[in-house]
Amino acid sequence: MAKKAKKKVAAKTATRSKKTKKVIAVKSVKARKPAAKKAPRKAARRGTADVAKLRKAVIVGIKSGKSAEVVAEQLGISRPYLYRLKSNG
C-alpha cells in the first residue's frame, strides 16, 4: 500500500491546545500592505491673548445658558478644550 503524498500548504495549519483540545488560531503568512500614512499636521498654537479672549467667550457663553456643545461649536474648539478653558485657563 502506497501512502498518498500530501500537498504542502503555504500557511501554517492550526494547532490544538494540549489542555482543552480546542483549535488555536494561527496568523496568516500572507504579507499585509502597510497602512497609508497620514500627512503630519502642523500643531496649531494660540497666543496668550487669543486664549484669554477664548476663555472670556467660554465663560460668557456658559453663563448665558448655552450648552457646552453649542459654545464649543460656535467658537470652533473641542469640548474637552472648552472645559479646560472654563476650569483653569
Domain-wise residue ranges, the chain: 48-87
pLDDT in tens, 20-79: 767 766 666 667 777 777 777 776 788 899 999 999 999 999 999 999 999 999 999 999
pTM: 0.49
The predicted structure's pLDDT at residue 89? 52
The predicted structure's pLDDT at residue 11? 56
Count CB-CB contacts under 10 A for residue 82.
22
Q: pLDDT: is 5 or 60 the higher one?
A: 60
The predicted structure's pLDDT at residue 56? 93
The predicted structure's pLDDT at residue 54? 92
d(CA 37, CA 75): 30
